[in-house]
Amino acid sequence: MAAPPVVIVEDDADTLELYSLSLEAAGYDVRPARTAGRAIELVRAVRPRVVVTDLTLPDLAGVPLCEALSEAGRSDLGALIVVSGSADERVLSGVRAAGAREILVKPCLPTELEAAIRRALR
């Protein structure tokens, strides 16, 4: 059985490529997005079980971003995983309240991200 689609939202092209290639090699159906707008479109169209997102995007960031992704996925979204360089506990607390299941700190190795996705899919 094929792995469910995973939407990855990251505005840094190199990081997006690194995560995408690594997860594709592990058998995931990766749907990349560089903006929140594109990510929301993908979440509505693809109905992924997992969305991985950076918190700092050019068009939407932080808690509002997580709220928008959770709303776009409604009940179908199994997990929202945040990968962030931010250590601001107020922001991270708000992100958790907005639906983030797990927060990974950058720099985050692709193997750490894959492990988080596997946990989310259990």
Element containing residue 15 per DSSP (H, E): helix 13-25
Q: What is the DSSP string of 52-64?
A: EE-SB-SS-BHHH
Residue 76 has pLDDT above 70, yes or no: no
Give the tens place of pLDDT for each residue, 3-60: 779 999 999 999 999 999 999 999 999 999 999 999 999 998 988 989 999 988 989 8
CATH of residue 55's domain is: 3.40.50.2300
Question: Mean pLDDT over residues 61-74, rounded?
Answer: 83
Q: Is residue 68 helix, strand or coil?
A: helix
Would you state the pLDDT for residue 75? 61
Measure the CA–CA gap between 119 and 16, rounded to whole angstroms: 21
Domain range enclosing 27: 5-121
**Number of domains the chain contains:** 1
Out of 58-72, 75-89, 96-110, give the one with best mean pLDDT. Answer: 96-110
Would you state the pLDDT for residue 63? 85
Contact yes or no for 89/97 (Cβ under 8 A): no
